Amino acid sequence: MADDSDYKLNSEAELDSEDEFDSDDELDSELTDVITIHVEHTEDDGVSSHKIQHKYLEKSHYFRDRLARASTYTSINLSGAVHTVSLPEYLHFLKTDELPEVWPEEIAMHYLYGERVGDVRFKNLVVARMAQLLEGLVPTKCARKIYRHTSEGSLARRLLVDHVVYRGRASWLEDFDCPDELVKDVAIEAMKARDIHSMKEFRVENYLEPESRAMAVRE
C-alpha cells in the first residue's frame, strides 16, 4: 500500500490546470477504434499508457472534449497527479459502469477526479464506496485531501462530518490530527444533533458530587 504522500497533489493548480494534448504520433486519416491515453507522472517523470475503445471514452463529457481537441485520432496526452492515481479506475467505470476495488487511502483522490472530469455518476459511486470503506476508520488522510480541494458545502465534506458525528468516537478527535475545519464542522453538527434529538439530557445534577460524601469528611 502506498504512503499518503505518494498521492499528494503538488498544488491546487494540478486539479484545475489545462492538460497537454500534443503527440508525436502521426495523424491518422481515419478515426481508430482504440485510443491510447498517455499520462505523464509529475512525481517521477515517468509515463503510463492506457488503451480504451473510442466508444467508452465517448461516454465521458470530459474525454469527448479532449478527443475533439487532440492533435491525433489515436492518442491523448495528460499530466498531473490526479490522472496518475485515478485514471485507471475511471476508465474501468466507463467500461463497466462499476467502481473496482480501491484502497481507503485513494478514495478521496477518486472523488476529486470525479470533480475534475465533471462526472456525477462516477462521483456518486465513489461517495457510496467511501462511506463503506471508512466505517470504523478515522478519516484523517481522506479528510485532508477533501478539505484541501473542495469548498464549503461539498457533499464529500458532509459525509466525513456525519461519519465522525454519528459513527465515530470522541477519541478520534483527541488522538488523531484531523483538519481544523473538520473538527469545527463536527462540533457544529454535534450541537445540531443535540438540539434535534439528544440522547443524553443535559442536567446540572450530572456534574455535582454527592453531598453525603462531603458530610462524612467533615465529621
Mean pLDDT on 96-123 = 92
Residue 210 phi/psi, 5° resolution? -60, 130
* pLDDT > 70 in the chain, percent: 74
pTM of the entire predicted model: 0.73
Query: Which residue type does 114 have?
Result: G
CA distance 5 to 165: 27
Q: Is 47 left (phi over 0), alpha (psi -120 to 50) or beta?
A: beta
pLDDT at position 196: 65
Looking at residue 157, what is its pLDDT?
93
Q: pLDDT tens digits for 146-205?
A: 999 999 989 999 999 989 988 888 888 887 888 899 999 999 988 888 776 655 555 666
Where does the chain have alpha helices with state H?
13-16, 54-57, 61-69, 81-96, 107-117, 120-133, 140-149, 155-167, 170-175, 180-197, 211-218
What pLDDT does residue 32 have?
Answer: 58
Please give the grid coordinates belonging to residue 85: 492515481
Count CB atoms within 10 A of the CB of residue 176.
Answer: 11
Residue with the larger pLDDT of the pair 2 and 76 = 76
Q: pLDDT for 13-57, tens place per residue? A: 444 444 443 443 443 434 458 999 988 876 666 788 999 999 999
150 phi, psi to nearest 5 deg: -130, 165
Give the pLDDT score at 74.
85
For the segment 89-110, the average pLDDT, to the nearest whole number, is: 93
Q: Tell me if residue 156 falls in helix, strand or coil.
A: helix
∠ CA 14-22-41 to the nearest 5 degrees?
40
